[in-house]
Structure formats: C-alpha cells, structure tokens
C-alpha cells in the first residue's frame, strides 16, 4: 500500500520520531521563547495574477461571453483544466489551469485551499499603490499616508520575533512586508555560502570600523556582519571547506520553478539550518500579462505550481508546522484587450498550503460575473478582504489572533475556517 | 567631496582642486553644456575595449569564443534589428550583446567621462523611464538606440520632447506593450505607467473616483488635480496605432517592414472622441494628434512638475529633500517648460541651492557609484568586465535589468540589506584586487617609498575620504593584524601588491565611504 505524506506524518514518524533521526532539525522554527510556531512563508505573485485564468469559472456563460477561449481554462478537450471539488458555487464548474498539476495534487490531498474573489477592498488598479497597501496591511489611501512599516515587521514586533534569523526575505532586499524591520535578513541565495568576502581578516577590520559608528549604514553593516556569522557556519562544506550545494530531500527538483526556485530552495535550506526561522517571504514574477497572455501565463502557472510542490515535498517532514500563503496585488480585467492580454483588474486568487490547512476546498463568496456584479462594471469584485485570509493564517501561526497593529483598522469577519486550528499545536498519532 | 559624490560619480583628486579654484557654479555650468567631442578619454577607451563573446554551436551556427570590440553603440535601430528578424539564424548571445555593450559603456563613462553630471542624469532618467533589457530580447536590441537617442539626447533637454522620444522608442513600445495596442480594446500598460510613473505620479491617482471625472477637483475648469482610471483607459485609446515596424501584417494586403523603427498605423488607431484630464478630444484628428495631446497635458500638469522635481531633488539632495529646494525646482520647471534646456535649468537650480550644499551623508552610494568613486579617487584606470556588472547587480543595481517600470528605488534603505552590504563589500574588494581583470590599482608614490600598512592606509583613506580620521585608521590597522610600521615588501611584487590592494579596499568598505 502506498502512504501519503500525511499518513507518514500522522503515524508516529511525525514530529517526534522523524525529527529525532535528523540531528540539527529538531528545533526547526523554535522561537527563543520556546513556542513552536512553525514556519510561515508568504509568496508574492508580482505583477497581478489573473485569478480568472488561474481558476476559471469554466461553465459561466458571462465568462465565456466576455473572454476569448485562449484566456479561459477549458472544461474539456486536450487542455482541460483540473476540476476542483468543493467549489464556491454548485452551479459553476471551477477549473484550475492545466499547467498547475502540482497544485491540483496538493488540493486533492486536502492540504491546499484556494480563496477566490479575494483581494484589496480599496479601489485601485495600480500595481504600486496596491502592492504598498498589501505590504503595509492596510486598505485605504488615508492609511497609506500614515503607514511606515510592513505588516510582517509589525507581526515580528508584536510577537517578539526579533532574533536575527527569525525573519528572512529570500530576495536581494527585504521588500515592503518587512519595511522598518530592524532584524529581517535579505538572503537571496546560499549557493556560495554566506561568508565574508575576503575572509576573517576583512571581517575583523569591518567589525571594528562598523562597531560603534553612528548612522544607518553602520547599523546595516553590523546586521550584515552578524547575519553572515549566523548563517555561514551552518552551510554544509566539503573537506576543503568549500560550501556545498543544498541537497533537497526526496530528490526534489526545483528547476521547473524558474525564478521561484532559488528563493524557495533558500527558505528550505535556512529552515533546516536551525536558525529559528519563523517568517519568510519569496517572490515570483511574470504575471503582468498585458500582452501574449496564453503562453506567458502558462509559463508562470507552471513555475508557480512546480515551486510550491517542490518546496512542500522538500519540507515533507514539517508539514504540520508549515504554512504557505500566496497573494498577488490584484487580479485582471474580465475582458481581454486586443493584445491577447488582460489589463489591471481587482479581485484574484489566494492560496493557503500546509498540513493543518483544511484544504481541498475553495473559500470565499463567488460574486458572479454578470455586469452589475462586477466592480465598476469591469472587474471581478472583491468579496474577501485579503486581510481576512492573512489574519487566519497568522492566528494559526501565532496560536492566537495577531496583534491589532498588524492590520490597523481591520475588523475580522466570520472566519473562513481555512485551518484545522485544533490540530496545529499537537499532531495526533492514530492508535 | 560630498557634492561631487552626488552630482558626479565621485571626485578625482584633481576635481577637488578644480572646484576649489574655479568655484562650484563654474563647475556646474560647464557640466550643464557637455561637449561630446571633448570626451576623448571615453572615446579612446570605448575604441580599445574588447569584451569576450562566446556561445555554443547551434543548428545554423558554429560555436564562438572570441574577443569582440564594441560595434553596436552608434548604430541606428534598423542596423541592429536584423538580430531580431533573423533570430533563427544565430545564438541568443547575439541579442544580449547590445545590452552588454551599453552596460560596459555605462560603467566606462561613469568612471572616465568628463561629463559626470550627464552620466548621473542618464542613470536617473534610465531609472525614471525604466525598461528591462533582461526581460525581452527586443528591448536588449533596442537599448543602444534608447540610451543614445532617447535618454542621453534629452537628459538635459526639454521634458515634453523627452516624453515623446520615450513614447515612440522601440524599447518602451515593447517594454510596456503599446506596440500591440489596437483600437477595440486598447492595451493600457503604457498609458497607466505614463501617468503613474513618468509624469503625474501616484499621489495624483484618485483611485476612488474611477470614471467620475466631474468629481475631480478642478475638472470643471479643465484643470483636474489628478487622474482617474478613465483617464488611463482614454489615454490608452489615444496611443493605439503607435507601434513598431516589426513585419506585422496590417491587413490582408499590406505588411509593415521589419526595421524596428517607430511607426503610426492609422488603421489600428481608435479615432473616436475621447476625454483625457477633462479635455475633450475630437473624433478622427490628424495622425498622432491624440497621443501628442495626451503628452502635452501630462507634461504641463502641475503634478508632473512636483513629482519629477521631487525625484530629481531626492537624487541630488537626499532621500527626504527639503521642500525649499523642491519648490524652487518646481518653479523653474514650470517657467521653463517650453525651453529647450528645461531640465538643465532645473538641475542648475538644485545644484546651486543651499539645500544641496548643506546635505551630508544624504545618499547611500549606489553600487555602480561605489566602484566608480573608488576608481576615480585612487586613479585606477578601470575597464569594464562582465563579472563586474554581475556583482554590481548582486549588490542591488542590475544595470538595465530592473523588471518593474518603477525603476530602481532611490531610497538609501534599499541598498542597505544584508545582501546589499555583503555584495557591496565583495564588489570593492574584487575591484581593488583586480579579480576580474578590470585594471591594476596604482600604488601611491609615498607607498613605493615607504611600503608599510600605515602608509598605505593613510594614503588610501586620504584619497577616498578626503581626510584621514584617526579612529578609522586605528581600526583598519588593528583589524588587519599586520605590523603597521613594518614594510610589507616590494609593492610591485604581485603578492605584495595584493596586500596593498586589500588595504585600499578596506578603506573603501568603511561606513564613511558608503554615503555622500
């Protein structure tokens, strides 16, 4: 008989047994305060992912009327999309893009949930306004003028996740989620280790020069020096002391994930290094499909799906302590343009993945695509505030509702129920 | 030195003396009227520079491994466009080559150009009118033309003319997909970023008014304070038919030639009436008139003056520029908006302002500036190489490779991440030690006389920082761990020379050198 990953986790190979076999992995994501929060990974789909093309209401007559078939997921034929059980509306056949094979499997296995018609309640069709609002955890113009920090920076602050190593942006710079975080580390890659260029002599001079100097540059230098020390000595090395490439578990191949491969691989590597990683971010680009969408979108969906599937497989031992949530700044226009693409729209799709996710279901409320149901008559309307999804995810991660400062002004609605919260802390072992 | 760190790519020793002698206004004035022919140091090095070129064999071509001189920088678009048209006959490396040539020339000019201010402005405008030459082969192939005929030609010129040069450039028409915009359902990509990033700015986006244009303050008088989604949709219609001669069929009979040049195709243009920024456009106007009117309105809009002048001040006077200098710039911008040298006038105002003079440690040097300032201060005759621009990219500034149309951020914080600091340090160390064949660091004559770590530290700290600060000197010597007053050996011996190079690199890795 075949065991699913979940069976393995539940059958005693879970937290206790499997982890004790692997020295150095025991305290994955243990905080300094000893609370096992697990690891939260936020993946941004940069550019505005066309949620209507990722998960199409394939049988919806309004949808079929408004869009050329190349920009819809088909319900039949050679490129039929994956049927999604437990959709939002029993009258609508929701189909996941056929290139999202990995996601379809995770959905079927009950560990992946989708929230459709989710997004920013504020009316904006600008990448940069929408991104700034989401990264600051807000939803109106007035708050944007006041907000000077990112939602994950405030989450770190609120929970005291301030030890270096607790928060990592797997990118060249920390990005807006961590705006104003003093301790987030930007680590795009560990391929060549994370040592000091020039070795210990340079490190010695720099630690003296940066040690007591005033100003933001000196502070940044000190953070960099300590982060390099923290991370580099945990990178595996050969006898000649050369950094070794990271070897994912279960022969996972990240390559098909394209630009998502490096950040997710880096997150997995850091998570297994025992530096107390609890919050990480990663980016995948290529969603701004104003032109030539059929091919470009297929490629992006393929990378996205392959990336999440590879990461989840590589992290198979930690599923019950892993939470991945994905978000894009907006969805795209219902009607396509003459460039075979779509312009900026409103609501889109969020995905939540993890061992404690009540997956295999779609969440939210389907507003429909009839003209009068559309946002300003042109776009899929937002029926679930993106902060509803993020706050349920944070509640599961923190073990309690996140501090109100994370999403200022946000009033949570009735929970969607994305997580089996009761199982979060102690995975049960069947007898 | 701080002024030359912001208005130039750092100071050579002779620049400081020159400014002291002639005064800052005279330096600025000369820089505002660059004479390309006089930039002989650049021309001579561009003619001499060879870059490796390699690729494997393909179905129709042999493997190549050679050193090639630069050949594409002064070619018109139709001369390089065959790289796109005949793409099946050659390796993709041929289409990346134009981008690499522009990148190499940009680094070379940053270090060696007499017209340092123009280099800083070229960089500023490349960010402002960002295109991504890594994301598309067409943009890479169009980059020499974009850099030369659009960015550099207008960097000190008139903003309205600059806008039209950008709007009709092959690079931008591909990057923001206006090339394929057609009547019926226009492509909104360019129009939206025109408002949000090139002209009025996002603060002027009244996102909650959508199509309620009468609700925009000032609209009744034909002077709306900001723009709404409807303006984007209408402007997108105005630019339909602004495209590229890419060989597409126009109808069953006619085909565009494949030259890569801008062309207006009347039958792709949506000629019906429009309303942009509360101005009515008549149906079926003359060719190009709709798009040109949009450019007129956005160029003249007060929000554009505010947005672009704030960005210019942010570059020169600090991340959070004082409002006095911004308002002075806005005033000149508006008063000179019909002048051929509008941008030069604005830049003069900023560079001669007291806010510019008073700024200290106001900007973190960008990675390219770290390299150029190091080379300029130490007299290193730097020649570009691919590993150099790759590491500049790793440190946060991938030249011509920022994917989003915002362009590289100009706030210092962006460059101060853990990753940014680590690569910034690696960059300067590799350049000092000549790890990539970019040039040997000269050994200052006093060090030849007295080759001790102390003498080297004093010399390099003096050249890079303008003065030798005592605690910094002590930190450097103590951390090195080499006896400070004992000669390291013959400075011309490669291994000893490398030690002196390390001392120079450490002087440049100090926090004091990172900001100007």
* Contact between chains at A125 and B479 (C-beta distance less than 8 A): no
**Helices H / strands E in chain B, number of each:** 27, 6
Q: Which residues of B286-300 are buried (b: 16+ CB within 10 A; e: fewer)?
A: eebebbbbbbebbbb
- Alpha-carbon span B172 to B142, nearest angstrom: 9
* Contact between chains at A122 and B208 (C-beta distance less than 8 A): yes
**pLDDT of residue A6 exceeding 70:** no
pLDDT at B251: 87
Nearest-CA distance A77 → chain B (Å) = 28
Structure tokens at B158: 């008139």
Residues of chain B above pLDDT 70, percent? 100
pLDDT at A16: 37
Mean pLDDT of all residues in B90-110: 98
Average pLDDT, chain B: 97
Which of chain B's residues have a Cβ under 8 Å away from the Cβ of A201? 479-481, 502
* Contact between chains at B479 and A205 (C-beta distance less than 8 A): yes
* Contact between chains at A337 and B229 (C-beta distance less than 8 A): no
| φ/ψ (deg, to 5) at B79 | -80, -25
* Contact between chains at A201 and B480 (C-beta distance less than 8 A): yes
Query: Between B406, B418, B502, which is nearest A227 by CB?
Result: B418
Which of chain A's residues have a Cβ under 8 Å away from the Cβ of B187? 290-291, 337-339, 341, 343
Distance of CA B191 to the CA centre of its chain: 22
Which of chain B's residues have a Cβ under 8 Å away from the Cβ of A171? 419
By 3-state DSSP, what share of chain B in percent is helix, strand and coil, each rounded to 5? 55, 5, 35
* Contact between chains at B418 and A218 (C-beta distance less than 8 A): no
* Contact between chains at A224 and B196 (C-beta distance less than 8 A): no
In the structure, what pLDDT confidence band is assigned to residue A4 with cuts at 50, 70 and 90?
very low
pLDDT in tens, A379-397: 999 999 999 999 999 999 9
* Contact between chains at A173 and B396 (C-beta distance less than 8 A): yes
End-to-end Cα distance, chain A: 18
Which of chain B's residues have a Cβ under 8 Å away from the Cβ of A174? 417
A206 touches chain B (CB under 8 A): yes
pLDDT in tens, B423-468: 999 999 999 999 999 999 999 999 999 999 999 999 999 999 999 9
Query: Between B176, B481, B511, which is nearest A217 by CB?
Result: B511
Residue B404 near residue A173 (C-beta atoms within 8 A): no
A423 touches chain B (CB under 8 A): no
Nearest-CA distance A341 → chain B (Å) = 8
Which of chain A's residues have a Cβ under 8 Å away from the Cβ of B192? 125-126, 343-344
Nearest-CA distance A262 → chain B (Å) = 14
pTM: 0.94
* Contact between chains at B417 and A186 (C-beta distance less than 8 A): yes
Task: Please state the three-class secondary structure of chain A as a single string.
Answer: CCCCHHHHHHCCHHHHHHHHCCCCCCCCCECCCCCECCEEEEEEECCCCCHHHHEEECCCHHHHHHCCHHHCCECCCCCECEECCCCCCCCCCEEECCCCHHHHHHHHCCCEEEEEEEECCCCCCCHHHHHHHHHHCCCCHHHHHHCCCCHHHHHHHHHCCCCCCCEEECCCCCCHHHCCCCCCEECCCCECECCCCCHHHHHHHHHHHHHCCCCHHHHHHHHHHHHHHHHHCCCCECCCCCECCCCCHHHCCCHHHHHHHHHHHHHHHHHCCCCCCCEEEEEECCCCCCCCHHHHHHHHHHHHHHHHHHHHHHCHHHHHHEEEEEEECCCECCCCCCCCCCCECCCEEEEEECCCECCCCEECCCCCCCHHHCECCCECCCCEEHHHHHHHHHHHHHCCCCCHHHCCCCCCCCCCCCECHHHCCCCCCCC
CA of B509: which chain A residue's CA is closest? A206
Which of chain B's residues have a Cβ under 8 Å away from the Cβ of A258? none
Nearest-CA distance B108 → chain A (Å) = 25
- Alpha-carbon span A101 to A248, nearest angstrom: 20
Positive/negative CA dihedral, A388, A391, A393, A396:
negative
Residues of chain B above pLDDT 90, percent? 99
* Contact between chains at B186 and A335 (C-beta distance less than 8 A): no
A210 touches chain B (CB under 8 A): yes
* Contact between chains at A285 and B480 (C-beta distance less than 8 A): no
pLDDT in tens, B234-289: 999 999 999 999 999 998 899 999 999 999 999 999 999 999 999 999 999 999 99
pLDDT at A147: 87
pLDDT in tens, A227-268: 999 999 999 999 999 999 999 999 999 999 999 999 999 999
Query: Between B183, B205, B361, which is nearest A215 by CB?
Result: B361
Structure tokens at B130: 């960002």
The CB density around residue B56, as the number of other CB atoms within 10 Å, is 11
pLDDT in tens, A335-361: 999 999 999 999 999 999 999 999 999
pLDDT at A28: 52
Give bridge partners of residue A55 from the DSSP assignment. A96
- Alpha-carbon span A386 to A348, nearest angstrom: 10
pLDDT at A336: 95
pLDDT at A33: 56
Residue A224 near residue B418 (C-beta atoms within 8 A): yes
Residue B53 near residue B67 (C-beta atoms within 8 A): yes
Nearest-CA distance A192 → chain B (Å) = 12
A71 touches chain B (CB under 8 A): no
A172 touches chain B (CB under 8 A): yes
Fill in the DSSP letter of residue B246. Answer: E
Query: Between A122, A201, A213, which is nearest B511 by CB?
Result: A213
- Characterise B505 by phi-psi region: left (phi > 0), alpha (psi -120 to 50), beta (else): alpha
Nearest-CA distance A286 → chain B (Å) = 9
Residue B399 near residue B392 (C-beta atoms within 8 A): yes
Q: What angle do CA B352, B355, B360 make, to 5 degrees?
A: 110
- Characterise A185 by phi-psi region: left (phi > 0), alpha (psi -120 to 50), beta (else): beta
**Which residues 44-63 on chain A approach chain B with CB closer than 8 angstroms?**
46
Which of chain B's residues have a Cβ under 8 Å away from the Cβ of A285? 403
Residue A54 near residue A100 (C-beta atoms within 8 A): yes
A338 touches chain B (CB under 8 A): yes
Mean pLDDT of all residues in A80-106: 97
The length of chain B in residues reads: 516
Residues of chain A above pLDDT 70, percent? 89
pLDDT in tens, A20-65: 333 334 445 444 555 678 999 999 999 999 999 999 999 999 999 9
* Contact between chains at B422 and A174 (C-beta distance less than 8 A): no
pLDDT at B399: 98
Mean pLDDT of all residues in B313-329: 97
**Which residues 112-131 on chain A approach chain B with CB closer than 8 angstroms?**
122-129
Query: Between B187, B475, B505, which is nearest A291 by CB?
Result: B187
* Contact between chains at B417 and A285 (C-beta distance less than 8 A): no
Q: Which residues of A65-80 are buried (b: 16+ CB within 10 A; e: fewer)?
A: ebbeeebbbbeeeeee
In a 13 Å sphere around the CA of B273, the CA atoms on its Cβ side amount to 5
Average pLDDT, chain A: 90
A290 touches chain B (CB under 8 A): yes
Q: 3-state class of B185 per DSSP?
A: coil
CA of A164: which chain B residue's CA is closest? B418
A343 touches chain B (CB under 8 A): yes
The CA–CA distances, whole Å, from A29 to A32, A34, A339, B94 equal 9, 10, 46, 47
Which of chain B's residues have a Cβ under 8 Å away from the Cβ of A126? 192, 196, 202, 205, 207
pLDDT at A14: 37
Query: Between B394, B416, B481, which is nearest A201 by CB?
Result: B481
* Contact between chains at A186 and B419 (C-beta distance less than 8 A): yes
- Alpha-carbon span A99 to A215, nearest angstrom: 49
* Contact between chains at B207 and A129 (C-beta distance less than 8 A): yes
CA of A179: which chain B residue's CA is closest? B413
pLDDT in tens, A118-166: 999 999 999 999 999 999 999 998 888 888 899 999 999 999 999 999 9
* Contact between chains at B185 and A335 (C-beta distance less than 8 A): yes
Distance of CA B279 to the CA centre of its chain: 34
* Contact between chains at A173 and B420 (C-beta distance less than 8 A): yes
The CA–CA distances, whole Å, from A304 to A255, A416, B179, B285 equal 11, 24, 28, 46
pLDDT at A37: 85
pLDDT at A142: 87
Fill in the DSSP letter of residue B249. Answer: B
In the structure, what pLDDT confidence band is assigned to residue B202 with cuts at 50, 70 and 90?
very high
B-interface mutation test, from A67, A181, A203, A209, most B Cβ less than 10 A away: A209
């Amino acid at each position: 008989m075949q065991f699913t990953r979940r069976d393995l986790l539940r059958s005693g190979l879970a937290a206790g047994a499997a982890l004790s076999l692997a020295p150095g992995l025991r305290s994955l994501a243990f905080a300094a305060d000893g609370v096992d929060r697990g690891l939260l990974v936020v993946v941004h789909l940069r550019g505005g992912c066309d949620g209507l093309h990722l998960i199409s209401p394939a049988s919806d007559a309004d949808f079929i009327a408004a869009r050329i078939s190349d920009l819809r997921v088909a319900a039949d034929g050679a490129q039929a999309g994956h049927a999604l059980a437990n959709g939002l509306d029993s009258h609508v056949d929701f189909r996941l893009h056929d290139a999202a094979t990995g996601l379809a499997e995770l959905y079927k296995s009950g560990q992946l949930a989708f929230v459709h018609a989710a997004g920013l309640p504020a009316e904006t069709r600008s990448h940069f306004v929408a991104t700034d609002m989401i990264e600051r955890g807000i939803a109106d113009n007035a708050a944007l003028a006041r907000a000077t920090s990112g939602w994950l920076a405030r989450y770190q602050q609120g929970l005291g996740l301030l030890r270096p190593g607790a928060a990592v942006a797997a990118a060249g710079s920390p990005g807006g989620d961590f705006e104003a975080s003093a301790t987030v580390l930007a680590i795009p890659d560990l391929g060549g280790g994370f040592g000091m260029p020039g070795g210990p002599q340079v490190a010695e001079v720099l630690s003296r020069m940066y040690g007591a100097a005033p100003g933001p540059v000196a502070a940044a230098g000190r953070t960099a020096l300590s982060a390099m020390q923290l991370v580099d000595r945990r990178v595996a090395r050969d006898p000649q002391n050369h950094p070794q490439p990271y070897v994912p578990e279960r022969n996972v191949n990240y390559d098909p994930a394209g630009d998502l491969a490096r950040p997710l691989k880096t997150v997995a590597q850091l998570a297994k290094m025992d530096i107390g990683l609890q919050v990480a971010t990663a980016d995948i680009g290529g969603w701004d499909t104003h032109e030539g969408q059929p091919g470009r979108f297929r490629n992006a969906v393929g990378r996205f799906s392959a990336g999440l599937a590879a990461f989840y497989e590589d992290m198979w031992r930690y599923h019950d302590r892993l939470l991945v949530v994905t978000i894009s700044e907006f969805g795209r226009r219902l009607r396509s343009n003459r460039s075979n693409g779509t312009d900026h729209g409103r609501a889109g799709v969020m995905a939540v993945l993890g061992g404690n996710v009540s997956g295999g279901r779609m969440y939210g409320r389907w507003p429909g695509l009839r003209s009068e149901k559309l946002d300003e008559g042109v776009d899929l309307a937002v029926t679930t505030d993106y902060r509803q999804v993020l706050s349920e995810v944070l509640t599961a991660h923190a073990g309690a509702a996140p501090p109100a400062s994370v999403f200022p002004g946000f009033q949570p609605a009735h929970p969607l129920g994305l997580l089996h919260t009761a199982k979060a802390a102690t995975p049960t072992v069947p007898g | 030195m701080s002024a030359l760190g912001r208005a130039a790519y750092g100071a050579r020793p002779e620049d400081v003396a020159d400014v002291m002698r002639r005064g800052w206004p005279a330096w600025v004035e000369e820089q505002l009227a660059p004479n390309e022919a006089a930039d002989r140091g650049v021309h001579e090095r561009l003619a001499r520079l060879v870059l490796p070129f390699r690729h494997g064999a393909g179905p129709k071509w042999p493997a190549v491994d050679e050193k090639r001189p630069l050949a594409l920088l002064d070619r018109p678009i139709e001369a390089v466009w065959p790289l796109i048209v005949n793409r099946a006959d050659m390796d993709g490396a041929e289409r990346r080559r134009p981008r690499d040539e522009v990148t190499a020339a940009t680094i070379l000019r940053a270090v060696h150009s007499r017209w340092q201010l123009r280099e800083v402005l070229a960089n500023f405008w490349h960010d402002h009118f960002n295109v991504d030459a890594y994301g598309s082969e067409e943009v890479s192939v169009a980059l020499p033309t974009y850099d030369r005929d659009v960015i550099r030609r207008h960097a000190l010129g008139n903003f309205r003319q600059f806008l039209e040069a950008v709007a009709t450039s092959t690079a931008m028409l591909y990057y923001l997909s206006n090339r394929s915009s057609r009547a019926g359902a226009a492509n909104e990509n360019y129009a939206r970023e025109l408002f949000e990033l090139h002209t009025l700015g996002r603060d002027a986006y009244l996102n909650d008014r959508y199509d309620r244009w009468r609700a925009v303050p000032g609209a009744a008088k034909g002077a709306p304070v900001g723009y709404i989604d409807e303006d984007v949709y209408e402007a997108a219609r105005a630019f339909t038919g602004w495209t590229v001669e890419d060989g597409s069929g126009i109808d069953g009979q006619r085909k565009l030639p494949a030259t890569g040049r801008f062309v207006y195709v009347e039958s792709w243009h949506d000629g019906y009436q429009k309303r942009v920024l509360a101005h009515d456009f008549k149906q079926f106007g003359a060719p190009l008139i709709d798009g040109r009117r949009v450019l007129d309105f956005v160029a003249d809009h007060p929000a554009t003056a505010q947005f672009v002048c704030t960005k210019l001040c942010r570059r020169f006077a600090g991340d959070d520029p004082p409002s006095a200098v911004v308002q002075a710039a806005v005033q000149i911008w508006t008063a000179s908006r019909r002048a051929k040298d509008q941008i030069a006038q604005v830049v003069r105002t900023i560079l001669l302002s007291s806010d510019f003079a008073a700024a200290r440690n106001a900007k973190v040097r960008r990675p390219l500036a770290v390299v150029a300032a190091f080379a300029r201060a130490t007299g290193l005759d730097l020649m570009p190489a691919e590993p150099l621009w790759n590491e500049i990219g790793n440190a946060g500034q991938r030249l011509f490779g920022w994917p989003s149309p915002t362009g590289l951020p100009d706030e210092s914080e962006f460059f101060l991440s853990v990753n940014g600091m680590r690569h910034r340090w690696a960059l300067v160390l590799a350049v000092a030690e000549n790890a990539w064949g970019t040039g040997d660091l000269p050994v200052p004559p006093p060090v030849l006389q007295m080759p001790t770590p102390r003498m080297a530290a004093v010399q390099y700290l003096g050249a890079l920082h303008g003065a030798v600060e005592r605690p910094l000197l002590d930190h450097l010597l103590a951390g090195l761990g080499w006896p400070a007053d004992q000669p390291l050996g013959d400075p011309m011996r490669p291994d000893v020379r490398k030690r002196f190079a390390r001392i120079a690199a450490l002087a440049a890795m100090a926090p004091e050198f990172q900001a100007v």
